[in-house]
Amino acid sequence: MAPAFADDAPVKLSRAQVEAKIAKIPIVALVNDEDAPFLTANGGKTGYFFLDPTEALLSLRVLQKTSPGARLKVVTLPEVYFSIVRGDSRELGGELKLRPSRRQVVLANRALQSNIKSGTFMPTILDEAKGQVPVFYSERVAFGAEGRQTFPFFLVKEDLDAAYDELVANGSIKGGGGDGSGIPIGLVRVATLDGLIDQMLSGAVDLSQSVVVGSRQALVTVGQIVKEMDGK
């Protein structure tokens, strides 16, 4: 799942460098009065950190029917990724996973199925319940001038579509689209967040000029949630 556009010598990134790349991605948890996450799946053994705040709100409404004190807590991805999601969460009573947007998993699976090659061993079906967070990218989409380019990995395909349309519209790249139709499916590449971060840490691919782009809509919704919580 490595991006084909990274041709420079591999560079291992430190944990701090990786955390800086994901620092602006908000995560929403369902917690009790003691800030302990609720374990609502797998017979009470698994809990989730939601990447989609709208899905977190829906889950909260269901949970409050049996646990009226349940509430939302907003954190950033670096606060939970290495220490809890990929660390030891047994002290919290069970396993804590990231929960990607169901819609984004569906869009990722469509892209994977459309671009699958015969004999490939790459995964073709992602499952949000397993914490498999898709990231979308394309060799055609980069920010900045040539020689100083940043290569984005999007958590939301619609944001990749918007970036592609903008590049086509301003003449930065040639191709179909640019009219709001989004990036052609054949140009969409899908990786997983875990796989991307593993590549950053191992240096198997030079991802020093990459950036992980969080959902624009999620940032807006999280801002509204924080404002409402501060007003209580």
Mean pLDDT calculated for residue range 154-168: 94
pTM over 0.85: yes
Sign of the torsion formed by the C-alpha atoms of 33, 35, 36 and 38 = positive
Residue 10 lies in a domain: no
Query: Does 49 score more than 80 pLDDT?
Result: yes
**pLDDT confidence band for 40 (50 / 70 / 90):** confident
The whole-number pLDDT of residue 94 equals 86
Whether residues 96 and 190 fall in one domain: no
Whether residues 110 and 204 fall in one domain: yes
Query: Does 196 score more than 60 pLDDT?
Result: yes
| Residues 173, 116 contacting (CB under 8 angstroms) | no
Whether residues 135 and 193 fall in one domain: yes
CATH for 84: 3.40.1350
CATH for 147: 3.40.1350.100
Distance (Å) of CA 128 to CA 11, 61, 76, 204? 30, 20, 19, 26
Whether residues 83 and 116 fall in one domain: no
| Residues 48, 96 contacting (CB under 8 angstroms) | yes
Residue 6 lies in a domain: no
Whether residues 132 and 88 fall in one domain: no
**pLDDT confidence band for 19 (50 / 70 / 90):** very high
**pLDDT confidence band for 54 (50 / 70 / 90):** very high
Residue 5 lies in a domain: no
Mean pLDDT calculated for residue range 198-202: 95
Whether residues 182 and 120 fall in one domain: yes
Tell me how many domains the chain contains: 2
98-149 confidence digits (pLDDT tens): 999 999 999 999 999 888 764 444 556 888 888 899 999 999 999 886 667 8
The whole-number pLDDT of residue 148 equals 78
Helix axes 102-115, 157-169, angle to 10 degrees: 60
Whether residues 85 and 142 fall in one domain: no
Residue 150: which domain range? 15-21+102-215
**pLDDT confidence band for 92 (50 / 70 / 90):** confident
The whole-number pLDDT of residue 2 equals 45
Let me know the angle formed at the C-alpha of 75 by 73 and 77, rounded to the nearest 5 degrees.
140
Taking all residues of the chain, what is their mean pLDDT, rounded to a whole number?
87
